[in-house]
C-alpha cells in the first residue's frame, strides 16, 4: 500500500477551492469545476424555487372545481411555465451540472474536467437561456404547455412562444457541452489504476447521460428551430393549413423529450447506487449489471418515443413496436431495483439522512416505474393518457426519482462541498416530510386519472374535489419538506460543525482529499489500487486510525 | 357520473369494451402488487435486520450472483410481455370501427364540439347515442389539436387538423356521461366538453325525429356537389365528364401517375378536394383546381358522405343499425338511397 499516506489526508489544506480568491472575478472567470458547480447550485436552486411557486399556485387553484383563483388563461400560463422551468432549467441540469460537475473529476482522481473553459461556457449559456426565459415570463409568459404542440404553438398562441423557445434552444447547448465534457473527461482523465470497471456507478450513470445529451439535444434544437421558422416565416412544416403535418412535430419533439426523461433519471440512479452501497458499507450487488443497465436504458430510451402518441393517429403497427420496446426498457430499471435491494443484504445499514432519501427513492421510483407499465400497455394507454394518471406517473419518476436522488446526493456530499456538517435531525425530518407529502400529493392523482380527469384543466368536475383537496394538502407538506433544506443547509455554512475529510469513512476517491477540496483536488496524483466500493482491508484506507479517532470523539 | 360514494374511486363502465380496459387495469395492479410487496418487504427486512450495529463496520463482501441477475432479468421481461400482449389485444379491439357502424361526424374547434348525425341533426357539446349500437365518430378540427375523451367508455382519440381520425364505441348503459377535450387546445381547454347521453334505441329514434328538419350530410354534400361548388360539371358523367367517375369508386384502389397507389377512403377524398394535383390518378390530367380555403371542414365531411353514398355498399352514412329500426331511421335510409339513386341518373 504505497499510497496510504497520500490517501489519508485529514488535515485541512491552508487554501481550499472556496478560499482561493474572494473577488467576484475569481468566481465569474474561474475554470475550477467545483466553483462552476457551486454557481450552478445557486442558479438551479433559484429556478427550482420559481418552478415550485408555480406548482403551489396550481395546487391552490385546483382546491376548488371552478377556475376562481386564476382564470383559465392565467392557469394555462402557470402550468406551462411550471413545466418549462422544471424540465429544462431544473431537472435536466440539476444532477449532472451540480453534482456531476463537482464530483465526476474527484471520483476519477482528475484535477478538473477535461475542458474547463467549455465547462464555464456551458454555465454562461445556461444563464443566457435562463435569463431570456425569465424575461419572457415577466413580459407575459407562454401558454402552449411545455410540449409546444403544433399548430397551437406556431399559429394560434399569442404569447411569448419565440422568446421562451429561444431560451430553451440556447439552454440545450449548455447540456450538449456538459455532456461532451463528461465523455471526454471519463475517457482521458482517469487516474492511474482507475479502470472502467473501477469507476463509481455515479460516473457510469453520468457517462450514459452524457451520451443521451449529445445525441438527443440537437434534435430538440432543430425542432424548435423548425417551429420558429413556421411561426415567423409561415413556412408550412407542422401546420396543415399551410401544408405541414402536426404529427411530425410530435415525432421530433418526443424523439428528444423521451430520452430527456433518461437525462433526468439516470444521474439520480447513479446517486442512489452510491448511497445504497456506501450506507450499507458494502460493495454494490451486481456492479456490472447496474453499469450496463444504465447504458441499455440510454440506448433503448431512444427507441420508445412513439409511446407518447398511441392516440395521436399513429399507425397500429408503429404503436405495437413502440409498446414492445417500452416493455423492454423497463427491464434494466427492474434490474437496478433488484440489485439495490440485494445490496442491503448482510450489510451494515445506517439511517443517515442521505440514506433515508435513497430508501424513499426506491419506494417512489418503484411506483413510478410500475405505473409506466400501465401507460406502456396500449389498451390502457388510450384511457389513461392525457389524464392525471400520467401527471402522477411522471411526477413519481421526476420528483420521486430525480429530486429525491438529488436531495440525497446534496446531503451526502454537502460536507465535502462546503466543509460543514448540516443538522442531521432536521435533515431526517425533511426527508420524511418529503416522502409523506409526496405520496399524499400524487397518489390521489392516479385515482383521479382513472376516473378521467384530464390534465391541464383549470376547472374540473365537482365530484373530483375531495381527491384534489388531498392532493393540494399533500403539496403543502411536500413544499415544507423541500424548503427546509434551503434553511438548514444555509445555516450549516455558519453554524455547522466542521466536516472531516471523510465523515462517513468511505473508500471513494472524493473522500480521500480534504473537505472542502483544494483547487487542484488532490495534493498528489492518486493511484487507484482498489475496486469500487471496496470496504475491505485492502482499500488503502487506514481503518484502525479512523475507528480509533471515532472512539476518541465519542 | 360516478357512484355516490364520498370519494369516487372508479368510473362508470358504460361501453362494450370498458370491461377489457378495466380487467387489464386490475391485472396490472395485481402484477404491481406482486412485484412491489417482495421488494418493499425485502428492503424493510434487510434494512432492519442488517442495520448498523457497529459504527463504520466492514461487513462481509458479497460480489453478486449471475444466476440471480438472469432470474430477475427474465422474470420481469416475461411479465412485461404479458402486459404488452394484453394491451395490444385490447388496443386492437378498439382500433378499427366495425363495418356496420352508425357514423357521426365530429368537428372540433376552439372551444366547442360540433356533431352531426347521419340524419342531419346537429348538436354542440352534447352527443346523443343509442344504447347497443356501434357508433363510429369520424373527426376533424378547424384549428388546433383536440381530443375526444369519454371516460365512461374508456376511449379517447386525438382530433387532428388536416386529416380524419376515428373513434368508435358501443354504449351499454343508459345515462349521462362526461365528454372532455383531452388534448390541450388553448384558453378555454377545460371548458371544451359536455355530455354524452346514452338512450334506449327507441328513445333515440324519438329524439332524432324531434330534431328539426335539417338536411342529412349526404343531402348537403349533394347540394354542394351539384350546385354550389360545381363539382358536377366535370364529375357528373355525360359528355362533359373530364374528371373521374365517382359512382362506385369508394373503397377501390387507384393508381397514381408516377407510381404509387391508394385506397379511396375518407382521407383520400378529402385530399383530392383540397390538393388534387398532389395525387393525379392514371389516365387523368392535373386540371382540377384546389378547393382549399373554399370549403369548411363540415362541408368537406358532407362531400365525403355524398361521394360515399355513390357507392351503394359502402356502409352508408346515416343508416343506424338499431335492432328494430323505427320510422325515422327508415326514412333516413330512404333519403340516402334516393340521393344515391338521383346521382346515378
Per-residue pLDDT at B240: 65
Residue A233 has pLDDT above 70, yes or no: yes
Q: Judge contact between B321 and B313, C-beta under 8 A.
A: no
Q: Give the closest-approach CA distance of A23 to chain B in angstroms.
A: 40
Dig out the grid coordinates for B305 from the structure: 358522405
Per-residue pLDDT at B345: 32
Q: Which residue has the higher pLDDT, A500 or B214?
A: A500
Work out the pLDDT band at A538, boundaries 50, 70, 90: low
Q: Do B10 and A451 touch (CB under 8 A)?
A: yes
DSSP state of A420: B
Residue B1 has pLDDT above 50, yes or no: no
Which of helix, strand or coil describes residue A499?
Answer: coil
Residue B327 CA from chain centroid, whole number: 28
Q: Do B57 and A366 touch (CB under 8 A)?
A: no
Report which of B292, B291, B340, B288 is spatially closest to residue B313, judged by C-alpha positions: B340
Dig out the grid coordinates for A342 from the structure: 440485494
Work out the pLDDT band at B331, boundaries 50, 70, 90: very low
| Share above pLDDT 70 across residues of chain A, in percent, rounded to a whole number | 94
Write the residue in B52, B84, B155 that is nearest to A382 by C-beta.
B155
Superfamily of domain A30-553: Cytochrome c oxidase-like, subunit I domain (1.20.210.10)
Residue A548 has pLDDT above 50, yes or no: no
Burial class (CB in 10 A: 0-12, 13-18, 19+), A554: exposed
Which of helix, strand or coil describes residue A254?
Answer: helix
Write the residue in A311, A335, A378 that is nearest to B157 by C-beta.
A311
Q: Do A287 and B182 touch (CB under 8 A)?
A: no
Q: Which of A77-81, B185-189, B297-301, B322-326 has the weakest average pLDDT?
A: B322-326
Interval B172-224: pLDDT, tens: 999 999 999 999 999 999 999 999 999 999 999 988 887 665 788 888 888 88
Chain A contacts of B9, Cβ < 8 Å?
447, 451
Distance between CA atoms of residues A509 and A343, nearest Å: 21
Write the residue in A67, A370, A543 that is nearest to B36 by C-beta.
A370
Report which of A385, A305, A324 is spatially closest to residue B84, judged by C-alpha positions: A324
Work out the pLDDT band at A407, boundaries 50, 70, 90: very high
Q: Give the closest-approach CA distance of B183 to chain A in angstroms.
A: 7
Dig out the grid coordinates for A266 from the structure: 439516470
Chain A contacts of B31, Cβ < 8 Å?
370, 373
Per-residue pLDDT at B156: 94
Q: Do B186 and A157 touch (CB under 8 A)?
A: yes
CA dihedral A42, A217, A106, A281 (to 10 degrees): 90
Interval A236-246: pLDDT, tens: 999 988 889 99
> Which residue of B19, B45, B67, B156 to mutate against A (max A Cβ within 10 Å)?
B156
Residue A4 has pLDDT above 60, yes or no: no
Q: Do A537 and B84 touch (CB under 8 A)?
A: no
Q: Do A327 and B36 touch (CB under 8 A)?
A: no
Report which of A350, A283, A191 is spatially closest to residue A533, judged by C-alpha positions: A283
Which of helix, strand or coil describes residue A423?
Answer: coil
Residue of A nearest to B26 (CA): A374
Per-residue pLDDT at B257: 83
Q: Do A241 and B182 touch (CB under 8 A)?
A: no
Per-residue pLDDT at B286: 82
Per-residue pLDDT at B341: 38
Burial class (CB in 10 A: 0-12, 13-18, 19+), A466: middle
Q: Which residue has the higher pLDDT, A44 or B217?
A: A44
Residue A222 has pLDDT above 60, yes or no: yes
Distance between CA atoms of residues A241 and A552, nearest Å: 78
Chain A contacts of B162, Cβ < 8 Å?
240-241, 245-246
Work out the pLDDT band at B299, boundaries 50, 70, 90: confident
Residue B45 has pLDDT above 50, yes or no: yes
Q: Give Cα separations from B245 to B234, B276, B291, B307 (angstroms).
A: 9, 15, 18, 10
Range A42-64 average pLDDT: 96
pTM attached to this predicted model: 0.88
Residue of B nearest to A554 (CA): B55
Q: Do B162 and A363 touch (CB under 8 A)?
A: no
Residue B316 has pLDDT above 90, yes or no: no
Task: Work out the mean pLDDT of chain B and round it to a whole number.
Answer: 84
Residue A399 has pLDDT above 60, yes or no: yes
Interval B75-100: pLDDT, tens: 999 999 999 999 999 999 888 889 88
Buried b (16+ CB within 10 A) or exposed e, A256-286: bbbbbbbbbbbbbbbbbbbbbbbbbbbbbbb
Interval B114-161: pLDDT, tens: 999 988 888 999 999 999 999 999 999 999 999 999 999 999 999 999
CA dihedral A100, A104, A105, A109 (to 10 degrees): 160
Residue A85 has pLDDT above 70, yes or no: yes
> Which residue of A250, A323, A343, A348 to mutate against B (max B Cβ within 10 Å)?
A348
Q: Which of A211-215, A461-465, B97-101 has the weakest average pLDDT?
A: B97-101
Per-residue pLDDT at B329: 39
Interval A132-155: pLDDT, tens: 999 999 999 999 999 999 899 998
Say what angle helices A161-188 and A201-233 make with each other, to 10 degrees. Answer: 150
Range A397-416 average pLDDT: 96
Chain B contacts of A330, Cβ < 8 Å?
76, 80
Q: Give chain B as a 3 state SS string.
A: CCCCCCCCCCCCCCECCHHHHHHHHHHHHHHHHHHHHHHHHHHHHHHHHCECCCCCCCCCCCCCCHHHHHHHHHHHHHHHHHHHHHHHHHHHHHHCCCCCCEEEEEEEECCEEEEEECCCCEEECEEEEECCCEEEEEEEECCCCEEEEEHHHCEEEEECCCCCEEEEEEECCCEEEEEEECCCCCCCHHHCCEEEEEECHHHHHHHHHCCCCCCCHHHHHHHHHHHHCCCHHHHCCCCCCCCCCCCCCCCCEEEECCCCEEECCHHHHHHHHHCHHHCCECCCCCCCCCCCCCCCHHHHHHHHHHHHHCCCCCCCCCCCCCCCCCHHHHHHHHHHHHHHHHHHC
Sorted by where each starts, the structural domains of chain B and their CATH numbers stand as 217-344 (1.10.760.10)
Amino acid at each position: 500500500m504505497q499510497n496510504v499516506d497520500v490517501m489519508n489526508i485529514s488535515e485541512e489544506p491552508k487554501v481550499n477551492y472556496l478560499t482561493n480568491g474572494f473577488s467576484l472575478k475569481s468566481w465569474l472567470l474561474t475554470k475550477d469545476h467545483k466553483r462552476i458547480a457551486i454557481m450552478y447550485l445557486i442558479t438551479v436552486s433559484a429556478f427550482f424555487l420559481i418552478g415550485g411557486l408555480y406548482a403551489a399556485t396550481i395546487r391552490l387553484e385546483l382546491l376548488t372545481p371552478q377556475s376562481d383563483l386564476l382564470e383559465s388563461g392565467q392557469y394555462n400560463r402557470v402550468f406551462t411555465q411550471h413545466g418549462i422551468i422544471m424540465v429544462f432549467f431544473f431537472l435536466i441540469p440539476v444532477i449532472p451540472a451540480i453534482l456531476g460537475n463537482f464530483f465526476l473529476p474527484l471520483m476519477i482522481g482528475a484535477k478538473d474536467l477535461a475542458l474547463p473553459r467549455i465547462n464555464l461556457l456551458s454555465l454562461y449559456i445556461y444563464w443566457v437561456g435562463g435569463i431570456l426565459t425569465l424575461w419572457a415570463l415577466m413580459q407575459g409568459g407562454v401558454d402552449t404547455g411545455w410540449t409546444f404542440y403544433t399548430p397551437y404553438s406556431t399559429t394560434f398562441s399569442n404569447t411569448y412562444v419565440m422568446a421562451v423557445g429561444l431560451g430553451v434552444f440556447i439552454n440545450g447547448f449548455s447540456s450538449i457541452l456538459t455532456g461532451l465534457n463528461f465523455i471526454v473527461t471519463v475517457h482521458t482523465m482517469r487516474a492511474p489504476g482507475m479502470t472502467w470497471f473501477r469507476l463509481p456507478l455515479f460516473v457510469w450513470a453520468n457517462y450514459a447521460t452524457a451520451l443521451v445529451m449529445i445525441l438527443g439535444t440537437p434534435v430538440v434544437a432543430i425542432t424548435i428551430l423548425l417551429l420558429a421558422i413556421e411561426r415567423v416565416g409561415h413556412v408550412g412544416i407542422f401546420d396543415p393549413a399551410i401544408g405541414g403535418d402536426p404529427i411530425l412535430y410530435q415525432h421530433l419533439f418526443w424523439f428528444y423529450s423521451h430520452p430527456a426523461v433518461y437525462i433526468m433519471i439516470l444521474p439520480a440512479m447513479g446517486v442512489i447506487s452510491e448511497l445504497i452501497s456506501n450506507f450499507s458499507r458494502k460493495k454494490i450487488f451486481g456492479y456490472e449489471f447496474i453499469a450496463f443497465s444504465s447504458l441499455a436504458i440510454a440506448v433503448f430510451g431512444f427507441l420508445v418515443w412513439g409511446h407518447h402518441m398511441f392516440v395521436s393517429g399513429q399507425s397500429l403497427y408503429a404503436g405495437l413496436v413502440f409498446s414492445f420496446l417500452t416493455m423492454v426498457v423497463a427491464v434494466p430499471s427492474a434490474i437496478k431495483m433488484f440489485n439495490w435491494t440485494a445490496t442491503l443484504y448482510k450489510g451494515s445499514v445506517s439511517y443517515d439522512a442521505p440514506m433515508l432519501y435513497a430508501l424513499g427513492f426506491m419506494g417512489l421510483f418503484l411506483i413510478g416505474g410500475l405505473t409506466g407499465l400501465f401507460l406502456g400497455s396500449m389498451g390502457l394507454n388510450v384511457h389513461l393518457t392525457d389524464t392525471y394518471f400520467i401527471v402522477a406517473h411522471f411526477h413519481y419518476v421526476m420528483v420521486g426519482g430525480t429530486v429525491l436522488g438529488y436531495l440525497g446526493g446534496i446531503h451526502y456530499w454537502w460536507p465535502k462541498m462546503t466543509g460543514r456538517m448540516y443538522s442531521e435531525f432536521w435533515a431526517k425530518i425533511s426527508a420524511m416530510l418529503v416522502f409523506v407529502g409526496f405520496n399524499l400529493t400524487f397518489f390521489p392523482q392516479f385515482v383521479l386519472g382513472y376516473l378521467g380527469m384530464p390534465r391541464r384543466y383549470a376547472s374540473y368536475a365537482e365530484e373530483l374535489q375531495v381527491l384534489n383537496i388531498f392532493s393540494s394538502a399533500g403539496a403543502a407538506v411536500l413544499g415544507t419538506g423541500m424548503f427546509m433544506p434551503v434553511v438548514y443547509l444555509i445555516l450549516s455554512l455558519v453554524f455547522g460543525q466542521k466536516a472531516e475529510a471523510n465523515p462517513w469513512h468511505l473508500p471513494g476517491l472524493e473522500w480521500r482529499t480534504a473537505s472542502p477540496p483544494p483547487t487542484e483536488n488532490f495534493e498528489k496524483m492518486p493511484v487507484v489500487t482498489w475496486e469500487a466500493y471496496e470496504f475491505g482491508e485492502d482499500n488503502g484506507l487506514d481503518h484502525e486510525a479512523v475507528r480509533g479517532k471515532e472512539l476518541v470523539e465519542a | 357520473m360516478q357512484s355516490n360514494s364520498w370519494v369516487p374511486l372508479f368510473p362508470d363502465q358504460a361501453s362494450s369494451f370498458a370491461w377489457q380496459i378495466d380487467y387489464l387495469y386490475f391485472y396490472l395492479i395485481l402484477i404491481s402488487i406482486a412485484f412491489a410487496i417482495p421488494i418493499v418487504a425485502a428492503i424493510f427486512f434487510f434494512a432492519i435486520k442488517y442495520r448498523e450495529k457497529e459504527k463504520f463496520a466492514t461487513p462481509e463482501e458479497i460480489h453478486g450472483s449471475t444466476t440471480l441477475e438472469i432470474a430477475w432479468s427474465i422474470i420481469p421481461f416475461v411479465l412485461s410481455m404479458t402486459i404488452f400482449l394484453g394491451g395490444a389485444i385490447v388496443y386492437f379491439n378498439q382500433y378499427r370501427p366495425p363495418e356496420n357502424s352508425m357514423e357521426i361526424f365530429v368537428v372540433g374547434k376552439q372551444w366547442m364540439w360540433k356533431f352531426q348525425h347521419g340524419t342531419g341533426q346537429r348538436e354542440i357539446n352534447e352527443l346523443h347515442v343509442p344504447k347497443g349500437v356501434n357508433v363510429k365518430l369520424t373527426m376533424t378540427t378547424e384549428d388546433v389539436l383536440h381530443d375526444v375523451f369519454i371516460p365512461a367508455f374508456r376511449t379517447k382519440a386525438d382530433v387532428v387538423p388536416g386529416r380524419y381520425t376515428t373513434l368508435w364505441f358501443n354504449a351499454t348503459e343508459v345515462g349521462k356521461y362526461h365528454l372532455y377535450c383531452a388534448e390541450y387546445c388553448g384558453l378555454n381547454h377545460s371548458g371544451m366538453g359536455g355530455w354524452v347521453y346514452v338512450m334506449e334505441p327507441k328513445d333515440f329514434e324519438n329524439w332524432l325525429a324531434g330534431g328539426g328538419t335539417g338536411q342529412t350530410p349526404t343531402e348537403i354534400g349533394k347540394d354542394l356537389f351539384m350546385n354550389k361548388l360545381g363539382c358536377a360539371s366535370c364529375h357528373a358523367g355525360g359528355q362533359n365528364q373530364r374528371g373521374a367517375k365517382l359512382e362506385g369508386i369508394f373503397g377501390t384502389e387507384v393508381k397514381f401517375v408516377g407510381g404509387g397507389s391508394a385506397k379511396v377512403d375518407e382521407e383520400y377524398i378529402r385530399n383530392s378536394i383540397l390538393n388534387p394535383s398532389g395525387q393525379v390518378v392514371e389516365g387523368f390530367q392535373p386540371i382540377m383546381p384546389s378547393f382549399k380555403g373554399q370549403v369548411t371542414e363540415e362541408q368537406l365531411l358532407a362531400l365525403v358522405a355524398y361521394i360515399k353514398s355513390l357507392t351503394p355498399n359502402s356502409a352508408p352514412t346515416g343508416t343506424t343499425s338499431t335492432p328494430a329500426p323505427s320510422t325515422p331511421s327508415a326514412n333516413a335510409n330512404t333519403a340516402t338511397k334516393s340521393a344515391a339513386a338521383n346521382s346515378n341518373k
